Structure 1
């Protein structure tokens, strides 16, 4: 039950004449008694809320930053019209900050609360109300409860009750780097020989024979084929297919650091999605593993058609864990997931202490059988700090930034000396840089 502002206003207005003309308890009781009787009648005539039937339909998944629509169907089985308000409560992260206001507005009212709706359901009928969600975080979003307030014809008193109507909307990674995919696929077609001359060199698959052209590498001459024909024949090659690419995402404490407006983990996931899409188009088999002290997500054995859908679903609920990553467990799990020779792409931070104490002593287990590529998100703010000279604080900041950059370069050089390919780029550049590194390895026949 709920008393409305109209009832309170009528009580105040009715009490004023009594207080001014003839103050007495009799006059107060007469006014308030009449108002109480009107409220009781109003409450009795209001449509019951406990008997309402509610159901949901609509979107079950949405990319971060896009809008999802969830429809709530309200059925009024009573003989009284249902007039009032409805609040469809979702977590605060279901809308951008500042969307909700103190007032009550419709879902489509600018500046109104999108979770509130005005109710007008005739007896025995149903109405649909659409709540538009625009989540600001990845993961599953579930509603709390639906609260319905039913007013009587006088608007003095209201029935109120809550219903739980289960639903879930999974918020997927946004995949901003998708815009780079067409240019990377064009480069892949060049390597594949569709838009340019086929590459030649060791470590690639034999494709066909063609006539020798001055400038060709003499090591590509096929002497047996030359002996069978009157012209010199050379072998052409194409990048190997059906290789194994395993993406390993470090979800430990270093992935929680924010670079710009997002954690390192989100930038790493975006780069992993672009590389997975590119590798699957290249005919390679792609696997995915998220790990800190245990396996947080795994995708393996999927075809190119459903790979991206499986990856974004697996990444949707991933959050950085504020624990130190178990490097030995990560390496053991990655090697077990890649029994054949593979390209292992490790997306982690190039922080000196965790790598020197954890990963570097275990590199031989990875590089002995596999090709290792380490990708890390660099903070562009550090480069800006390194240029500061305007004040004492700026000079100290520049010295600190220069030391941090030197440590990252030192760690990267240590990895390169072990035969590891290192990609260290800003969040917006990491995905295309990682794709370029993959294409370079493929062109060189190192996969």
Structure 2
């Protein structure tokens, strides 16, 4: 193929026939000369098969951050290379599709750093590296088809972790957890505690905590200390159906649920409880169970990164059946969904009776403040449209209250908060249940 430089040279060469008394002969001579030059230039272009590509760099990044992935270009042929290279990623990876010019002698290598600023969480793959090899005059170049470039492109996927704005609440929640731990040991045995160790009696200890047999053996007064129960089970069920696609403010409801589930998972892991994850709509989209506390937390975050809302009705029967398939040890089940009447009453409610019997259940939903705002009529000059909108918003709020009342009557704890308080409220419910020994 020829370049723009050849087109410019051809335009300059077109002047000669116009000045010649034999224009057709002159035009033929010019074309033959230019064709010969282009042919020689093309034969001097290095073979594309002599280019070896490889990558290294970041594989994960939090949404809102930047990642750097380096592409190594090596000339393994015995001829110099004058290359034009374009490294293309999916648009949401946030890469500038700049063209890079390289000049490689035989056996040398150059590196190209691509800075990515993703705009969505999930997996963001590299698409294609397109190569061109130019001749020394840059009049012609070699380029293969897209399929050939696809086969030579080194695969790379950047996993963009979901936003975690509620991480700022972690110091506060962990401080509450530490205070709770200390209060239990000082108070002595109570609900939700288990034996920790023995220590010498000090003034102020509850005499009911004295272990008389251990005191007789030690020939000193010894008391038992207690700590909150560990190794409790917490299971986060994320609804990824159509209601999770509704936008609360400037983000989908699913993103707010992921943020709250991340805060709850980190907090429960620090409290030495076991956290599992299940995400479902008409199919199981993600499932994380088993493994150590720290490694599981990494797996939980990675699994949530790839979740996207699906425009289908959630099959709660499938999700609850998957929950009940596990062992029947009592657990805290937190269901992140919407308090919409139809999916709750027709989908989730028939499944709750058995679930509540076996587990402690929390239904957590993000409230849209826009609905409450629309339910209030303007102070003056309300039109008929305003009245209809307010009536529809009031009806939606009434249905939400009815759903909340039905769930509470079944023994379900309902969290219904706005986006800025949602994650904190879910964490507070966990801490309260942990303190009361009701997990």
Could you tell me the TM-score, scaled by structure 1's length?
A: 0.85
Q: Secondary structure at the match of 1:306?
A: helix
- The yes-or-no answer on 1:83 pairing with 2:82 is yes
Counterpart residue number, 2:106: 123
The answer to which structure has the higher helix fraction is: 2
2:409 matched to which residue of 1? Answer: 417
The offset of 1:354, in angstroms, is 0.9
- Asked if 1 retains the 8 angstrom alpha-carbon contact of 2:185 and 2:227, the reply is no
Q: Which stretch of the first structure deviates more once superposed, 83-92 or 272-281?
A: 83-92
**Which residue number corresponds to residue 407 of structure 1?**
399
Q: Does the alignment pair 1:158 with 2:141?
A: yes
Instruction: Judge conservation of contact 1:190–1:196 (CA < 8 Å) in 2.
Output: no
SS of 1:245's partner is strand
Structure 1 segments unaligned to the other structure (5+ residues): 101-112, 214-219
1 CA distance for matches of 2:262 and 2:179?
A: 22
Which residue of structure 2 lines up, in the alignment, with residue 378 of structure 1? 367
Q: Report the alpha carbon displacement of residue 335 of structure 1 after superposing the two structures with TM.
A: 2.3
2:340 alignment partner, one of 312, 333, 351 = 351
- Partner of 2:256 in structure 1? 267
Tell me how far apart the structure 2 counterparts of residues 60 and 384 of structure 1 sit (CA, whole Å).
Answer: 43
Alpha-carbon distance in structure 2 between the residues aligned to 1:419 and 1:54: 60
SS of 2:46's equivalent in the other structure is coil
Structure 2 counterparts to residues 321-400 of structure 1, below 5 A: 321-387=310-376, 389=378, 391-392=382-383, 393-400=385-392
Aligned to 2:26: 27
Following superposition, the deviation at residue 371 of structure 1 comes to: 0.7
User: Which residue is equivalent to 1:222?
Assistant: 208
What SS class does the counterpart of residue 358 from structure 2 fall into?
A: coil
**Cα distance, 1:194 vs. partner?**
6.7
Task: Report the 3-state secondary structure (helix = DSSP H, G, I; strand = E; otherwise coil) of the residue aligned with 1:222.
Answer: helix
Whole-angstrom distance in 2 between the partners of 1:79 and 1:307: 50
Post-superposition shift, 1:43? Answer: 1.1
Aligned to 1:94: 93
Aligned-partner Cα distance in 2 for 1:257–1:248: 18
SS at match of 1:140: strand
Tell me how large the CA RMSD over aligned residues is: 3.0
Unaligned runs of 5+ in 2: 216-221
Structure 2 counterpart of 1:189: 178
Residues in 2 aligned to 1:388 and 1:11: alpha-carbon distance in whole angstroms: 73
Taking the aligned partners of 1:369 and 1:195, their CA distance within structure 2 comes to 26
Task: Tell me whether 344-353 or 243-252 shows the greater mean CA deviation.
Answer: 243-252
Provide the rounded CA distance (Å) in 2 between the counterparts of 1:274 and 1:311. Answer: 11
- Hey, what's the Cα distance between the residues in 2 that align with 1:45 and 1:20? 33
Instruction: Tell me whether 21-30 or 362-371 shows the greater mean CA deviation.
Output: 21-30
Q: Is 1:149 the equivalent of 2:121? A: no
Determine the C-alpha separation between the residues in 1 that align with 2:34 and 2:273.
Answer: 77
Return the offset for 1:322: 2.4
Q: Which residue of 2 is the match for residue 217 of structure 1?
A: none
2:302 corresponds in structure 1 to 313
Instruction: State the Cα deviation string for residues 88-141 of structure 1 (Å, max 9, x = none).
Output: 12212211xxx65xxxxxxxxxxxx34x32212122211111222222223323
Distance in 1 (CA, whole Å) between partners of 2:389 and 2:207 is 59
Q: CA shift at 1:235, angstroms?
A: 9.4
| Residue matched to 1:13 | 12
Deviation of 1:330 after TM superposition, in Å, equals 1.9
2:323 counterpart SS class: helix
On the 8 A contact 2:184/2:228 being kept in 1, the answer is: no
Q: Which whole-Å CA distance do the structure 2 matches of 1:12 and 1:388 have between them?
A: 71
Residue 283 of structure 1 is aligned with which of 259, 267, 272?
272
Aligned ranges 1:244-263 → 2 under 5 Å: 244-263=233-252
Please state how far the C-alpha of 1:197 moved relative to its aligned partner: 5.6
- My pick for the range that moved more, 139-148 or 411-420, is 139-148
1:171-190 to 2 correspondences below 5 Å: 171-190=160-179
Matched, 1:49 2:54: no
Aligned residue pairs, count: 420
Question: The residue matched to 1:271 in structure 2 has which SS?
Answer: helix
Structure 2 CA distance for partners of 1:379 and 1:50, relative to 1, 3 Å: same
* CA distance in 2 between partners of 1:38 and 1:150 (Å): 16
Q: Is the CA contact (8 Å cut-off) linking 2:60 and 2:160 kept in structure 1?
A: yes
1:223/1:349 Cα in 2 relative to 1: closer, same or farther (>3 Å)? closer
The structural deviation recorded for 1:358 is 1.8
Whole-angstrom distance in 1 between the partners of 2:211 and 2:60: 57
* TM-score normalised by length of structure 2: 0.86
Distance 1:332 1:29 in 2: 80
Shift of 1:337: 2.7
1:224 offset after TM fit, Å? 8.5
Partner of 1:104: none
Q: 1:202 to 1:23 in 2, by over 3 A?
A: same
Q: Contact 1:191 / 1:238 at 8 angstroms: preserved in 2?
A: no
Question: How far, CA to CA, are the matches of 1:263 and 1:408 in structure 2?
Answer: 19
Q: CA deviation at 1:86?
A: 0.2
